[in-house]
Amino acid sequence: MRLVFGPLTAARTLAGSSGEVVKQEKKVPRPSRKLQHLHFAAHSASRNTVIVHLSNGTRLTGIVLASDNYMILLGKTGEDPMPTVVYKRAITVVTPAHAPEADAAVLDAEASPDFVRLYIPRTRKRR
Q: What is the pLDDT of residues 92-124, one digit of tens each?
A: 999 999 866 554 445 555 566 666 677 777 777
Give the chain's domains with CATH numbers.
31-99 (2.30.30.100)
pLDDT at 33: 74
- Tell me the pTM: 0.55
pLDDT at 125: 73
Q: What is the mean pLDDT of the chain?
A: 77
Q: How far apart are CA 55 and CA 89, in angstroms?
A: 8
Q: What is the pLDDT of residues 43-58, one digit of tens each?
A: 999 999 999 999 999 9
Q: What is the pLDDT of residues 1-58, one digit of tens each?
A: 555 555 554 544 555 556 666 677 777 766 667 888 889 999 999 999 999 999 999 9
Q: How far apart are CA 86 and CA 74, in angstroms?
A: 7
String of b and e for 10-45 (b: at least 16 CB within 10 Å)?
A: eeeeeeeeeeeeeeeeeeeeeeeeeebeeebeebbe
